[in-house]
Amino acid sequence: MELVVVHNISLPPGQFGGPGIFELFSNALDPEAHPYYREIQGLRVSSHFLVRRDGGLFQFVACGKRAWHAGQSEWRGRSRCNDFSLGIELEGADDQPFEDAQYRQLGDLVRALARAYPITACVGHSDIAVPAGRKTDPGPRFDWSRVPRSFPSAG
């Protein structure tokens, strides 16, 4: 894995703390539990990690396995970013600030991943989505100055 991709997610949209994200990533989201869930019924996505609002960290997919977080994507001329990236979901939304606990956990996680894998960059979903503009996360309220973005080349 060479790239870390930061996302945001809330289920239902704009609501935090419920079981929706866990249910989505385990393909157990009840389409009758919320009107929005009917819209995304059948969506099959996953992420390596989730950082909750309180900084709680959860892993859904092993780092050596592909997660389905990037969709149509390209980074530095390479397509199919799911093949070489680790996805980290932050519980949040584009229009709301993230919590200090999330930034601390995310920074620690990104640094740990960079020690364990030949990570060269940490980017947002919006940086890799094809076509450009298809995705906006982690959003304009995300403070990139609080997260490591690039790492020395291995070797």
**pLDDT tens, position by position, 25-73:** 999 999 999 999 999 998 889 999 999 999 999 999 999 999 999 999 9
Q: Could you tell me the domains of the chain?
A: 3-146 (3.40.80.10)
The owner of tokens 């601390």 is 104
Q: Which residues are known to be catalytic?
A: 89
Which of 136, 1, 94, 108 minimizes the C-alpha distance to 51? 108
Query: CB 150: neighbour CB atoms within 10 A?
Result: 11
pLDDT, tens digit (0-9, with 9 covering 90-100), for 87-108:
999 999 999 999 999 999 999 9
90 within 8 A of 33, measured Cβ to Cβ: no
- CA distances (Å), origin 98, targets 30, 55, 84, 93, 106: 27, 10, 26, 8, 11
